[in-house]
Structure 1
Amino acid sequence: MCLQEMENRRVDGLSEQLLSERIMGEFSVPSEEMSKLKDTRSAAPVEEELYRDMLAGGTEATRKLFEDIKRLGDMLCHSTPYKILTRTTQPSHAISMLFVSFMLLVLWPNIVGQQSASGSDCVRPQTRANVLVSLAYFGSFAMHFGAQMWMTFVSGLALYFNLPRHTFGRIQEILFPKYFSMGTGLSVVTLLAFIKLQQTAHPELITASLNSWEPMLLVQLASLALCAVLELIVWLYLAPPMLRLMHLKYNFEERETVGQEVGQFSGTENAQLRRSSPYQNVHKRFRQIHMATASVNMGSLLCTFIHLHYLASRVELH
C-alpha cells in the first residue's frame, strides 16, 4: 500500500514538472529576442548619455566662441585706432567722403552718359539677373525695413513706457549706433543691387545718362540714396553728440536721485535741476539733437516706404 502511494506521488510530480515546462515553453521569450531586448535596454542609456555629451559640448563651444569674440572686441576698443575713430571727428568726415566717392564711382557712367562703340542706340536683349544679386537686393531691403519698423514702433515705445528712464537711455546707447550703421550698410547694398538689376534687365541703361532713365526709376534711386545719406548723418554726426549729452544729463540727475521714473521727465519737476542753468542747457541741447535724430529717422523710413510701394506695384501673382 505504501509503495502504491509513493508511486502515485512520483507520477503526480512528474506530471506537474512536465506541465510547468510546457507552460514555460509556450510563454517564454526565445534567447535571441531576450538578447536583443537586453541590448536595446543597454543602448538607451548610452544614447541618452551621448546626446547629453553632444549638447554640453555644443554649448561649451558656443560659450568659448562668444568669449573669444568678446575678448577681441575688448582689445579693439582699447586700441589706438579705435580711440581715434570714435573720439575724433576726422574719421566721420573720411567715411562720408568715401561714401560719396563710392556712390559717384558707381553712378558716374550714368551721370555723364556714354555712347556705345557703334554710336547707335540699339537695344540689347534682356538677360536674367544673377540669383545672388536678387538675394542681396530683397534680403537687404527686407532686413532694413524690418529693423526700422521694430526700432521705431515696437522696441523704442515698449522700452520707453516700461523701463526706468536711465535704464532705457543706456539700452538705446547700445542700440543706436548699431541700428544706424546697419541701416546705412543695408541701404547701400539695396541701392547697388537695384542699379545692377535694372542694368541687367535693361542693358542699354549701363551707358545711358540718368536723363534717359524712367522718372519712376530716378525716384527710386533718389529715395534709396537719400535713405543711406540720412542714416549716415545720424550714425556719424548726430548720435555721438546726443549720447555724450545724455551722459552729462544723467550725471546731473543722478546727483539729485532722479532717473528711475518711467516715461517723460522735463526737468522742471525737481527744484534743484530747475534752477541749474548748466543742466537746463544740456537738457535743451539734448532735446534738440534727439528731435533731429527722430525726424531724420522718420525721413529714412519714408524713403523706405517709397521703395516698398514701388515693389508692391510690380508684384504679380500667377
Structure 2
Amino acid sequence: MAERSNSPKFERPEVVLTDIDDEGQDQHLPPPGPSTRSQSKRKTAWYSYTFNMSDTELKAQLEELIAKNRILDSQLKAQSEPKPGTSYEQANNNSQSTHFIQRTDFFFYCSSIATKTSQPFHVALAIAVLVFWLSSPGSDSSLRGWRALYVGAVATHLGAQVWMTLVSGIVLYFSLPRHEFGRVQTVLFPTYYAFNAGISMLALLSYFRMQCLTKFAYTSYAQFALLLAVFSIEAYVRLRLVSPMLRAKHIKTQMEEVAGGGQEVGRLILGELAHCPRYLRVLRTFRMYHSSIAMGTMIALGCSVYSTMIIVDAMCH
C-alpha cells in the first residue's frame, strides 16, 4: 500500500511503499528509470507520483495556457472588427493590413514553386500533350475537350483521395512523432479539401456542359447525383469543419506540450492529462470534428469510385 508524506506545496511528494517481502523495511520510490522492483509495484508508485504532480504545477500551467488562448482570441477578434467612429476607408485599410502577411506568404509560396521547382515544366508538358491531342483528327473538338476535362477531373480527384486517405496519412502517422504528424496535417488539410472541392466542381460543370452539347442524349442522373454529393461534402468539410478541428487540435497540442507528451509514434498516451477535465473536453471536441471529417471523406471516396465505374460502363457501351 502506498502512503504519501506531508510535503509542502510545489515540492516533490515522497511516496513510500511497504513491502512485507523485503523484511518489512520501507523503501522510498526511486526516480524514473530502471528499477529492481516488480512491474506492478513500479506502476502503482509512478501513478501516485504523477497524479500528485498534476494537482499543482500542471494544473496551474494549463490554466495559464487557457487564459493566454482566450486573450489571444479576443485580440484577434478585436483586430478584425472596425473600431467605432472609423470610416469605411480606415476599416478597409485595417482589414487589408491584417491579411497582408497571409497574402504575402501565398504569393511567395507560388513564386517559389514557379522559380525554384520543376513543377512548371510538368504543367507545360501536360498542356502540350493536351493541345496535340485536341488538334489530332477526330470528332468535334469542343466535345472532345469537355470530355477530356471531365475524365481528367474525375481521375485526378480519385487519385488525390486514394493517396491522401490510404497511403500518405497512414505512412506518416506510423513514421513521425504525433505532434510532427499533426503539424503536417495542419498544413495539408485546408489545401487538400479546397483542392478536392474545386476539382469535383470542375468535374460537375464539365459533365453538365458535355450533356448540353449532346442534347442530354446519354445522360446519367446517377452520375449527376454522385458528382454533386462529392462536391457538397467536400465544400462543407472545408468551410465548416476544418477550421474548428484545427483550433481544437492547436489547443490540445499546447496542453500536451506542457505535460511533456506528443512524441510517441502511432499511438496516443494521455499520461498525466488523463486526470485533466479541460484537456478531456478539448480532446472530445477534436475527435468529434475529426470523426465527422473522416466520415465525410469515406463517403466521398465511395461516391468517387462508383462515379468511375459509371465512366467504365459508358466506355463499354
Residues 230 and 304 in structure 2, CA contact (< 8 A), matched pair in contact too? yes
Say yes or no: does 1:229 pair with 2:229: no
Identical counterparts, % of pairs: 35
Distance apart, 1:254 and its partner CA? 0.4
**Is it true that 1:80 corresponds to 2:98 in the alignment?**
yes
> Relative contact order (C-alpha < 8 Å, sep 6+): which is higher?
1
The 1-side partners of 2:96 and 2:175 are apart by: 34
1:139 aligns with 152
Q: 2:161 is matched with which residue?
A: 148
In the alignment, structure 1 segments of 5+ residues that lack a partner are 1-76, 86-125, 206-212
SS in 2 for 1:130: helix
What is the Cα deviation at residue 253 of structure 1? 0.5
- Aligned partners of 1:217, 1:273: CA distance in 2, in Å? 53
Q: Which residue of 1 aligns with 2:259?
A: 256
Q: CA deviation at 1:134?
A: 2.1
Deviation at 1:310, TM superposition (A): 0.0
Distance 2:175 2:220 in 1: 43
TM-score, length-normalised on structure 1?
0.55
* Equivalent residues of 1:129, 1:197 under 8 A apart: no
Distance in 1 (CA, whole Å) between partners of 2:143 and 2:307 is 21
For 2:207, the aligned partner's letter is: F
Deviation sequence 1:78-136 (CA, Å, 0-9, x none):
84357999xxxxxxxxxxxxxxxxxxxxxxxxxxxxxxxxxxxxxxxx97753332222
RMSD, aligned α-carbons: 2.6
Amino acid at match of 1:257: G
Query: Which residue of the partner structure matches residue 200 of structure 1?
Result: 213
Shift in alpha-carbon separation, 1:78–1:252, aligned structure 2, 3 A: farther
- On the 8 A contact 1:177/1:235 being kept in 2, the answer is yes
Q: Which residue of 2 aligns with 1:179?
A: 192
Kindly provide the amino acid, as one letter, of the partner of residue 264 in structure 1: R
| DSSP 3-state at the match of 2:282 | helix
Alpha carbons 2:237, 2:293 under 8 Å: kept: yes
2: CA distance between counterparts of 1:78 and 1:248? 27
How many aligned residue pairs are there? 188
Gap regions ≥5 residues in structure 2: 1-94, 104-138
Describe the shift of the 1:224–1:245 C-alpha distance in structure 2 as closer, same or farther (beyond 3 A). same
Alignment of 1:122-133 (within 5 A): 129-133=142-146
The structure with the largest helix share of the pair is: 1
Preserved CA contact (<8 Å) 1:128 1:200: no
Q: Is 1:164 paired with 2:177? A: yes
Q: 1:193 and 1:174 mapped to 2: Cα distance?
A: 29
Cα distance, 1:251 vs structure 2: 0.5
Q: Taking structure 2 as the reference length, what is the TM-score of the superposition?
A: 0.55
